[in-house]
């Protein structure tokens, strides 16, 4: 076998059970952030660039299936198997609201204007909570045909989409009328549905197929068969020229958007990959796995100083550059093989 440069990811330890959802905030004046949901019931917030642990939201009593941050990354929301969706202060970690459901809450999403929170789950009901009047009963959108797996907002919060655990297709609802306006047909259940940053595409994973849909006219733009059952897929946000997919084979695959050819294959997880997400600038992407770790992979060089052309799957040098930059920003921070020493340092800093 020819020798290929191997991508060295930043490995984020901390979760004691599988990581089932990841969400990046947009870039804020304080940088961008990554929140993770895990079956260990403790969602975690990290620096999106470095993977550095910031805090853990404590309060759920069951697996957390979904997590998100609002546009300004000031609030977080999590949906849990404890029949609740909670809203948190992302600066202090305090629980702001707990919205009770009658069954497992599976998905949550803040509207773009941050005023509304959409939730869905096993109850087959999509609920919209008004963040300005959190004590008011939520608006219930027309009953979902099946148990809700994913939710998202699009068209400047005029449309919501949802997919179901027990049937194929993505349904699009008009928020004003509360009715389904379109269904994107798929053979298998859609486990991942992402609206691209520019609002042009809806990216879905169903079974071993990845599909890209026109988000405005709802036509199928591209459909690619994958090497294995894919659980999650994410489109590169800046140029839209590549996408990352993860699933049963434990590998994190990068593909060319225009041809569907595989550009890179990152190995390192010790269990199926449940979630993949590109960072808001497209310079890195994160993967969460059954093995309880999050891995942050570099897409390419951060600086075009011509020192080295980096292969599509990144290189060892690239990660070193990132580490150096980080250590300038955070004094005394070092990338440790085990997150324990990192978290110990932070615990000391917090107590001092």
pLDDT tens by residue, 174-224:
999 999 999 999 999 999 999 999 999 999 999 999 999 999 999 999 999
Residue 84 has pLDDT above 50, yes or no: yes
pLDDT tens by residue, 11-29:
999 999 999 999 999 999 9
Which residues are within 8 A (CB) of 99 and not within 5 positions of it... i.e. 6 or more apart? 84, 85, 86, 87, 117, 119, 127, 129, 134, 138
> Quick one: DSSP state of residue 37?
E
Query: Across the chain, what does the average pLDDT equal?
Result: 87
pLDDT band for position 318 (50/70/90)? very low
Predicted local confidence at residue 4, as pLDDT:
56
Which residues are within 8 A (CB) of 1 and not within 5 positions of it... i.e. 6 or more apart? none
pLDDT band for position 1 (50/70/90)? very low
Which residues are within 8 A (CB) of 211 and not within 5 positions of it... i.e. 6 or more apart? 184, 186, 203, 204, 205, 220, 222, 223, 224
pLDDT band for position 343 (50/70/90)? very low
Assessment of whether the complete model's pTM goes beyond 0.75: yes
* CB contact at 8 A, 226 and 246: no
In this structure, how many other beta carbons lie within 10 angstroms of the beta carbon of residue 287? 28
Predicted local confidence at residue 316, as pLDDT:
35
Count how many Cα atoms sit within 13 Å of the Cα of residue 326 in the half-sphere of its side chain: 18
Q: How many residues does the chain have?
A: 352
Q: Which residue has the higher pLDDT, 325 or 276?
A: 276
Domains of the chain: 10-351 (2.130.10.10)
* CB contact at 8 A, 234 and 243: yes
Predicted local confidence at residue 5, as pLDDT:
64
Which residues are within 8 A (CB) of 178 and not within 5 positions of it... i.e. 6 or more apart? 139, 141, 142
Residue corresponding to tokens 């004003």? 176
């Amino acid at each position: 076998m020819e020798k290929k440069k191997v991508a060295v990811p930043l490995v984020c330890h901390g979760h004691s059970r599988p990581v089932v959802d990841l969400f990046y905030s947009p870039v804020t004046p304080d940088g961008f952030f990554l929140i993770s949901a895990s079956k260990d019931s403790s969602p975690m917030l990290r620096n999106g660039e470095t993977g550095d642990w910031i805090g853990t939201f404590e309060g759920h009593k069951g697996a957390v299936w979904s997590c998100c941050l609002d546009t300004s990354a000031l609030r977080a929301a999590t949906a849990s198997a404890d029949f609740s969706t909670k809203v948190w202060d992302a600066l202090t970690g305090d629980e702001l609201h707990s919205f009770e459901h009658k069954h497992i809450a599976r998905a949550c999403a803040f509207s773009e204007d941050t005023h509304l929170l959409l939730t869905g789950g096993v109850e087959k009901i999509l609920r919209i909570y008004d963040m300005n009047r959190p004590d008011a009963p939520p608006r219930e959108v027309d009953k979902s045909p099946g148990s809700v797996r994913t939710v998202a907002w699009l068209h400047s919060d005029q449309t919501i989409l949802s997919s179901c655990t027990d049937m194929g297709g993505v349904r699009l609802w008009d928020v004003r009328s509360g009715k389904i306006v379109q269904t994107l047909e798929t053979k298998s259940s859609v486990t991942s549905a992402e609206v691209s940053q520019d609002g042009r595409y809806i990216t879905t994973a169903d079974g071993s197929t990845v599909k890209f849909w026109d988000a405005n006219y709802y036509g199928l733009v591209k459909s690619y068969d994958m090497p294995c059952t894919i659980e999650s897929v994410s489109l590169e946000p800046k140029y839209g020229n590549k996408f990352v997919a993860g699933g049963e084979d434990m590998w994190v695959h990068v593909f060319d958007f225009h041809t569907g050819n595989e550009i890179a294959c990152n190995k390192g997880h010790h269990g199926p990959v449940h979630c993949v997400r590109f960072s808001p600038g497209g310079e890195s992407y994160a993967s969460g796995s059954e093995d309880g770790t999050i891995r942050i992979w570099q897409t390419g060089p951060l600086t075009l100083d011509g020192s080295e052309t980096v292969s599509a799957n990144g290189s060892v040098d690239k990660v070193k550059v990132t580490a150096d930059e980080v250590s300038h920003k955070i004094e005394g921070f070092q990338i440790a093989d085990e997150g324990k020493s990192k978290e110990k340092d932070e615990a000391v800093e917090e107590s001092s």
